Structure 1
Amino acid sequence: MTTETVTARPSAPVRHAPLPPGQEIREVPTSWWQTEESREKVLERTLALPFTADTDTNQRTRRRGLIKLLDWLEDQPGRTWQERWTASGAEEAGREWPRLPMQWLAEHQRARKYDRADLCCGMIPLLGGQVVRPAYRWLLRQRPSQLLAHIRSVTDPDGFAALKDRYTATGHTGANDCNNALNRVTWIVTRKGSTVHDVTIGDCVELQHAIGEHQTNGHHGKHLFYQLLARLGAFGPDAPARLKTVMLPGQLTPAALVDRQGITCTAIRDLLVDYLTERAVDVDYTTLEDMARSLAGLFWRDMEKHHPGIDSLRLDADTVTAWRERVRMVRDRHGIPIRPRVNAHTVFSWVRAFYQDLARWAAEEPARWGPWVAPCPVRDSDTDHTKNRARRKAAMDQRTRTLLPALPALVKAVERQLKDAQTCLATGRETTAEASFTTPAGETLLRRAGVSSRVYADDPATGRRRDLTVEEERAFWAWAIVEVLRHTGMRIEEALELTHDSFVAYQLPTTGEIVPMLQVAPSKLDQERLLLVSPELGEVLTAIIHRVRRGQQAMPLVAAYDSLERLWSAPMPFLFQRRCGPEDRAIPRNYIYTCLNDALSASGLTGPANEQLRYAPHVFRRIFVTDALRSGLPPHIAARICGHRTVDTTLGYAAIYPEDVINHHRSFIARRRSLRPSEEYREPTAQEWQDFLAHFELRKVALGVCARDFGTPCVHEHACIRCPVLRPDPEQGPRLEEIHANLLDRLQEAKEQGWLGEVTAIEASLAAAEQKLAAMRDLAARHTTVHLGMPDFRTSAGRLTGSSDSG
């Protein structure tokens, strides 16, 4: 074991989802029988343990080291060996722990040049015999190469052998994954004691948090040990399938959301908890979390920091003004302003809604909410973000105008990177160890030796080791996400939720042709929609399915975690999933960003200011909408494709170019002129103008005003009572009632005479008359204006004409 200086960090609280009964984190006992043994019994028992690769030399070294350790620990305060170990300060020293007993040996004139080796070997029987149980902060700092293997050989060897058999049964052959899983279980057994079958889910969660706190290196199979323990039956039949399901805390309650802000006033804290509990029914978790952060943190906790002891929602003007100024700026932990807060209007909106809800709810439950009603400290103008919205829209449009022309170059770049990465990986696999090969980019690499399933190569030019398998994988998913987003305009969460079951075959009712469709799961608006799968998109999806299957008949079932809602999905055949060590995992959003950024860095695409272009996943959605509308797709169709509730939202996504406005206006004028005779675009003659003015006089009829266009004949042959363009005059109601009575008499006569054709015609006129009577009554009830009659245009027209002639 090697050593290094370590600074101990305070342990963070272990956060996790609720654990099944009996699977909680086990506490380490303060004393147990091994640590209470006498020195002679410890030597006798631990030196007799059957360690692996046990030789006479190893036994002598372990004996010397164990004696030195026991002598040193006997000189420490405490009743048991564990108490002495804790009091010695060795755990705080980390890898430098041997210097403490070495210093003691030197002080007692017993120092030897091989003391470090003896002490490290003497620690093996001390840990394997459960004499001391160091904390994780000490265990995780030691080299696990030989130490943990020796511990496994004497601590529940049957249990570790069963774990190894479970790993072999999974079909995996990587020795690194197996050793990594066994090492993690060994850490738990060494820390907690007992056997492999006694490990709980809480122990696994605690270990993973400790690894994240005290180690910086990770491993793809870091949760494999949990799966092996679950298959061994250590957790019972109802254990979660993945450790990550338990490690992630899930959705917090309103009380937990408020309590993490550290509010000191109990009454206000309870009020905010009650308020958020009421609102949680109507909003999603992301919104609820934002409300809690704004109300409990940026509003009330800020008030308590600057006004200690405050306990009322009734605030004076100076307090409110100072708070508004503080909220508008983002500050560091020292309170120094850093930059303006972009979403300050959102904070003001939540606070204003909070006060208004209390006032409204107080009318229904005065005893519960009434005592807290107070004037709202936020003005309506504080929540107005019209300027910010316009500024943000202009910035997004400018970004879309910059990135849209570069999209074809990006598509070619990701295609080229994928082909080069695949060629490089295939060449590296065929190259023998320590041999050189040339990449498509002209680089010379040296194939590294090893038994790993990954292909590693050294770059002599930079001295860097390259993982060709990871490079090919990231190049593939960068190409896949660019193609899927640019062809569909999906949101990133919708793309990541695509499954093998999302494909729908639709048969056209006219031709019977089968059209492939893609069913998009509800995301933002909880509305499903279908998208047409183009041939280009079909090729991309086929390549994704072929890669994920890896020659198997069915897609692997994996559970995906929604980082916004903090919920796990059921195991589903997601398209965007990849192999991580020994298990399949759904691709998270941050991995997509990593692949895109790597592809953009390698492409060398730059903007107008020679800056590197950045394509966020949502940029492809804006580009899709802009390109679709510029290509002539109707906005309402684009809205249905994108899943927008209103057309205005779709139009807000589109970046309108100045030339688009000019070209569309010119096209509109050209289309209008092509549909109308060219002779209409001239000055009217005097006769034509007189005919136009006379048209308005001819529109006056007995029952009202005829609203037909100028130059159009009466299609109902002056049967005004049936005409839909007749605007009835309420003053002509008695005349229409007389007509209605006459129609009733005529209808009765026609029925008596058996004139069935006349009956049908009269019934149509009678229905139209009743409709006109209802319209007259409605107009009479709504309007009490005085009818001024029809205007006479001839007098004014004559004056205009005379004026023109006199000029």
Structure 2
Amino acid sequence: MIDPGGFARLEAHCEKTDRTGQHRAGALNCVAMILLNKGGRIADITVDDCVEFAAAMRVSHRAARHVTLFYTLLFEMGILGDDAPPTLAAARAPGQRTVQQMVDSYNIVSPRVRELLIAYFTIRKPELDYASLRGLATVLCLNYWRDLEKHHPGIDSIDLAPEVAAAWKHRLKTIRESKQRQGQKREKPERILLAVRAFYLDLAQWAVTDPARWGPWGVPCPIRANECVGTKRERASKARMHQRTRQRAPVLPTLVATAERLRKEAVARLEVARAVAPREHFTVDGETFIRSGGDITKTTFVYDAETGRRRNFGLEEDEAFWGWAIIEVLRHTGIRVKELMELTRHSFVADTLPSTGEVVPMLQIAPSKTDRERLILVSPELGDVLATIIHRVRNGKAVLPLVSRYDHHEHIHSPLLPFLFQRRIYMQNSATNRNFVARCIDNVLLASGLTDASGEPLRFTPHDFRRIFATDAIRTGLPPHIAAKILGHTDVNTTMRYAAIYSDDVIAHHRAFIARRRAQRPGAEYRDLTPEEWQEFLGHFELRKLELGIYTRDFGSPCVHEHACIRCPALRPDPAQAPRLREIIANLQSRVDEARQQGRLGEIAGLEVSLAAANDKLTAMNRLTERHGLVHLGMPDFRSAAGRSS
């Protein structure tokens, strides 16, 4: 036997950590195969040996579950060394690429532009996280320059001709670089235009400060500032997001109730299945199953007695629990899915209120999108959910297991931490990922039977819970700047963009505004009217009707022209009375002529004021007639072509 002492210690560790059954045997076989190929003892196995063996197993399509478990056992025993990656996935992961590797992955043809992009990204790298740097490299290398080289072979300068720049902007409206979405309309091309414009402006600024190095690249930018503003698309995107929130917020209680029901039903099925002996029949919720063989204390497989379909009640209970836990935490906190998966036992902190000395439980959210920590108050409902999660993950142990989580954005593995959202798979604990979170939510949605307006199954993303949380918080009176602090937004406008406004909210808040305004005014202004006051008010509107139009004098205000209405600017002339007004103008003109002939100079000044006011009213009538009249647009007449003359 090869290294009996080493295998004895390995088996003892398996017993200590409760690794039994076929997974344990498979992991020991993996270690034995490494020794058969490499020789030596178990203590001599290195990380490279494990990675090489895992690659060979993948080529031969052998079971991957044992491959990951054997590495975990060796790591836990300290055989792989103190600086070994915590998981096999971390050991196999390529890690973060260098700037040169990023640029070269896009096969840039021009050596000059390639060197320019490498230098540009090198300068920008310290101020960007890895995900943002990769996104910027995709825009400038793939969406911008690689597209230009594809359609303009031999191009070697970023000083683009107007027709070249115009053609590139036109192509940018359609997705061309993705096989799955090729030919589809790009939703927000302004983001790419903004990044490329920033690239040109950075080079222009650097050309001023360091002309020896950047001077040749200080060329005019082919993108105008107004081309980077997609106001119409932003409004459409905001409207779609609000409509999505309005559609999902009312059905959230149904989703929550379904998650709770599925969890209870899964627990009941699993308890019944584990209580029967292998190969025995049992009935749960009107369905008959057959318990499979094996250890009844471990993963429980059953067969449907009618269809023969194999089901894993243990896995179903696990996914039902995490579906309930994920939905509850997301709806009570409004955190991002990345922040959800990064919650650890260390996230719980206690804050003492300075005014009362009361100790309040808080949940510390690790830096995420905005790279800022924040604290969220733990409500009793949220506290109960988190306590249930911790109790499950501990599984009777004193502390939470330490696991490593892979960050798909930063392409790095975290140190070993007591993550809350971790589950035991194939005899080893691992942190949950985005795919598992999405699958658990989809399982609950499928069981709920919820559909959208078109009858299709309703879809929920983790971010939908965040938008619903923001909407409910603001609707229930939470100040927007406080909601922004809870959600981790640096700009309150982002929070308001999340919040979907309902029509009944507009009415309710407007009524509340009127009520608050009335409360600040004297109460006498809102007393009940007497019948005499009401009749006086109605009589005022009767007195406004005149021969030439409507007198728009406010109620309670005096007549400043002593009923000389033709002079008053408050008279709104009626175009239908234009003939009558012309008669009045002619009469006034004849009276002015008569006064001049008879030498009554005292009357002339008053008559001329009235005559000028009448001419102004006639001009206003003509203007109203032109504004509201019908205009012939010169539309073609097809009656003759249709064989009709009338």
Partner of 2:168: 323
Are the aligned partners of 1:166 and 1:232 in contact in 2 as well (CA < 8 Å)?
Answer: no
Tell me the distance in 2 between the aligned counterparts of 1:505 and 1:231: 33
Secondary structure, in 3 states, of the residue corresponding to 1:181?
A: helix
Secondary structure, in 3 states, of the residue corresponding to 1:490?
A: coil
Q: Tell me how far 1:180 sits from its aligned partner.
A: 2.2
Tell me the distance in 1 between the aligned counterparts of 2:558 and 2:207: 67
Greater relative CO, 1 or 2 (CA 8 Å, sep 6+): 2
Q: Find out whether 1:600 has 2:445 as its counterpart.
A: yes
Secondary structure, in 3 states, of the residue corresponding to 2:506?
A: helix
Cα offsets for 1:631-661 (capped at 9, x unmatched)? 1222222222222223212111100011211
Are the aligned partners of 1:345 and 1:383 in contact in 2 as well (CA < 8 Å)?
Answer: yes
Partner of 1:313: 158
Q: Which of residues 88, 99, 115 is equivalent to 1:254?
A: 99
Partner of 2:295: 451
Are the aligned partners of 2:348 and 2:364 in contact in 1 as well (CA < 8 Å)?
Answer: yes
Partner of 2:436: 591
Partner of 1:535: 380
Q: 1:655 to 1:210 in 2, by over 3 A?
A: farther
AA in 2 matched with 1:602:
A
Q: Find out whether 1:184 has 2:1 as its counterpart.
A: no
Q: Which of residues 556, 561, 564 is equivalent to 1:803?
A: 561
AA in 2 matched with 1:451:
D
AA in 2 matched with 1:205:
V
Secondary structure, in 3 states, of the residue corresponding to 2:452?
A: coil
Tell me the distance in 1 between the aligned counterparts of 2:500 and 2:73: 53
Tell me the distance in 2 between the aligned counterparts of 1:265 and 1:158: 60
Q: Normalising by structure 1, report the TM-score.
A: 0.62
Q: 1:497 to 1:164 in 2, by over 3 A?
A: closer
AA in 1 matched with 2:416:
P
Q: Normalising by structure 2, report the TM-score.
A: 0.77
1:45-194 pair list within 5 angstroms: 156=2, 158=4, 161=7, 164-165=10-11, 167-168=13-14, 170-188=16-34
Tell me the distance in 1 between the aligned counterparts of 2:280 and 2:188: 57
How many corresponding residue pairs?
535
1:215-226 pair list within 5 angstroms: 215=61, 218-219=64-65, 221-226=66-71
Name the stretch that deviates more: 501-510 or 402-411.
501-510
Secondary structure, in 3 states, of the residue corresponding to 1:444?
A: strand
Partner of 2:586: none
Tell me the distance in 2 between the aligned counterparts of 1:567 and 1:194: 32
Q: Tell me how far 1:593 sits from its aligned partner.
A: 0.8
AA in 2 matched with 1:291:
L
Q: Tell me how far 1:164 sits from its aligned partner.
A: 4.5
Q: Tell me how far 1:162 sits from its aligned partner.
A: 5.2
Q: 1:330 to 1:187 in 2, by over 3 A?
A: farther
AA in 1 matched with 2:92:
M
AA in 1 matched with 2:513:
F
Q: Tell me how far 1:157 sits from its aligned partner.
A: 5.7
1:259-278 pair list within 5 angstroms: 259-278=104-123
AA in 1 matched with 2:279:
E
AA in 1 matched with 2:294:
G
Are the aligned partners of 2:87 and 2:404 in contact in 1 as well (CA < 8 Å)?
Answer: no
Q: Tell me how far 1:183 sits from its aligned partner.
A: 3.8
Cα offsets for 1:510-568 (capped at 9, x unmatched)? 44433222222222222222222111111111101110111111122222222112232
Partner of 1:524: 369
Secondary structure, in 3 states, of the residue corresponding to 1:404?
A: helix
Are the aligned partners of 2:188 and 2:230 in contact in 1 as well (CA < 8 Å)?
Answer: no
Q: Tell me how far 1:681 sits from its aligned partner.
A: 6.7
Tell me the distance in 1 between the aligned counterparts of 2:561 and 2:59: 94
Partner of 1:393: 238
Q: Which of residues 33, 43, 52 is equivalent to 1:206?
A: 52
Are the aligned partners of 2:68 and 2:88 in contact in 1 as well (CA < 8 Å)?
Answer: yes
Partner of 2:468: 623
Are the aligned partners of 2:19 and 2:427 in contact in 1 as well (CA < 8 Å)?
Answer: no
Tell me the distance in 1 between the aligned counterparts of 2:410 and 2:252: 32
Q: Find out whether 1:466 has 2:311 as its counterpart.
A: yes
Tell me the distance in 1 between the aligned counterparts of 2:364 and 2:373: 7
Are the aligned partners of 2:3 and 2:42 in contact in 1 as well (CA < 8 Å)?
Answer: no
Partner of 1:553: 398
Q: 1:498 to 1:313 in 2, by over 3 A?
A: same
Q: Find out whether 1:564 has 2:322 as its counterpart.
A: no
Q: 1:595 to 1:802 in 2, by over 3 A?
A: same
Are the aligned partners of 2:473 and 2:483 in contact in 1 as well (CA < 8 Å)?
Answer: yes
Partner of 2:572: none
Tell me the distance in 1 between the aligned counterparts of 2:371 and 2:506: 35
AA in 1 matched with 2:51:
V
AA in 1 matched with 2:489:
H
AA in 1 matched with 2:415:
A
Q: Which of residues 263, 266, 283 is equivalent to 2:128?
A: 283
Partner of 1:368: 213
Name the stretch that deviates more: 553-562 or 267-276.
553-562
Secondary structure, in 3 states, of the residue corresponding to 1:522?
A: coil
AA in 1 matched with 2:458:
L
Partner of 2:269: 424
Name the stretch that deviates more: 473-482 or 177-186.
177-186
Gaps of 5+ in 1: 1-152, 683-798
Q: Tell me how far 1:490 sits from its aligned partner.
A: 1.3
Cα offsets for 1:373-393 (capped at 9, x unmatched)? 222222323322222211111
Q: Tell me how far 1:433 sits from its aligned partner.
A: 1.2
AA in 2 matched with 1:571:
L
Q: 1:508 to 1:316 in 2, by over 3 A?
A: closer
